[in-house]
Amino acid sequence: MSEERKTIYMDHAATTPVDPRVVEAMTPYFTEHYGNASSLHHKGRDASDAMENARETIADILGCRPREVIFTGCGTESDNLALRGVAFAQAESGKRHLITTPIEHHAISHTMEQLESKFGFQVTYLPVDSYGVVDPDDVGRAIREDTALVSVMYANNEVGTIQLLGEIAKITRAKGIPFHTDAVQAGGSLDLDVDRLGVDLMSLSAHKFYGPKGIGVLYARRRVKFWPMQTGGAHERKRRAGTENIPYIVGIAAALKLAHEGRESENGRLIALRDRLIQGVLDRVPDTQLTGHPTQRLPNSASFVFNYIEGEGILLNLDMLGVCASSGSACTSASLEPSHVMAAMGFPPEIAHGSLRLTLGKGSTAEDVTFVIDHLPGIVRKLREISPLVDSESYAPLAAVV
């Protein structure tokens, strides 16, 4: 019998395993403390107390009031609630202009498209440079009298670039415009203090920082007006109707607390692994580019484009070796269309198709990085030998690609 193949998981941007300590914190609320937080009896009070303790834990990390923390079903719902909720509330006073970027997660971009096509809002998409960075001055130039909301992601899920939120916030605050950030990809590794960031709304999702899937948070500053998108009971101070998911609420608070407490040391470890991985790939694989900002990027994120081949081929070959990776966002990696993020950064389709995202995590080791650096060059070489974009005899790109 052959030896069992080891799995090397380098897709932590897609999801993370639940930390055993988080599972331990959640377990009693599936069995012993199973009450509905809206019930008046002692089982309900136990559940309500657990929820409010979790809310306070998250508020302490975000530097906000507990009442500004809203529990949702996921990061996508948090994004949807922020955008639609603020947009519809602001439309009452005639403000129907929204500002965002072309590199947002589809939870933002598809919602913006719907608000524009179905509800008559106007959306301005700010350009990004070749690293995926938004110029804060472009935000100021785009703001109009009828601007209702600005939404710029904290860190990109495909290439890891971190935005200058503080600089953008100075502009939105001076103009009195609500500022939202999708912080789903940044939640486990970057500063989340909402006052230091200057944001008025922020979306988070537990499964990106070793919590359970199916629970998210929307921070909404008290002065920001928005409409609830779910109607029913008076849950979450009438902002998000639906019986609260107490085990998962306990889980997201436990996971965020663990991530916050261990952030500095874990980031240092991951940055060292990330930089070694990036340098090793660039040194050993010709015609390869790093995507995203070289330094202003998430601690665990390494992303590349390999000329003349498609990322799906790389993924399949890595998977056969036990390596889990991605060609971009996990929500769109099955699509045959090139990444909208890569397109916005100026990569032509034939190059954008050759993308690879390697994202490290708690279980990643130096040996894992060495394995990928050692095996990736052979995979790329094999794929280029059969690529229709390369002359197989001279191993040079065909004229159409140059």
Ramachandran class of 15: left when φ > 0, alpha when ψ lies in -120 to 50, beta otherwise: beta
Cβ-based neighbours of 395, under 8 Å, separated by 6 or more = 384, 385
Radius of gyration over alpha carbons of the chain, in Å? 22
Per-residue pLDDT of the chain (402 residues; tens, 9 = 90+): 344 679 999 999 999 999 999 999 999 999 999 999 989 999 999 999 999 999 999 999 999 999 999 999 999 999 999 999 999 999 999 999 999 999 999 999 999 999 999 999 999 999 999 999 999 999 999 999 999 999 999 999 999 999 999 999 999 999 999 999 999 999 999 999 999 999 999 999 999 999 999 999 999 999 999 999 888 888 988 899 899 999 999 999 999 999 999 999 999 999 999 999 999 999 999 999 999 999 999 999 999 999 999 999 999 999 999 999 998 644 544 555 779 999 999 999 989 999 999 999 999 999 999 999 999 999 999 999 998 776 544 445 543 333
What is the fold of 20-261?
Aspartate Aminotransferase; domain 2 (3.40.640)
Active-site residue numbers? 331
d(CA 223, CA 266): 35
Superfamily of domain 8-15+263-392: Aspartate Aminotransferase, domain 1 (3.90.1150.10)
Residues in the chain, overall count: 402
d(CA 93, CA 183): 28
Query: Where in the chain are all domains bearing CATH 3.40.640.10?
Result: 20-261
Query: Where in the chain are all domains bearing CATH 3.90.1150.10?
Result: 8-15+263-392
d(CA 144, CA 163): 22
Contact status, residue 184 vs residue 205, Cβ threshold 8 Å: yes
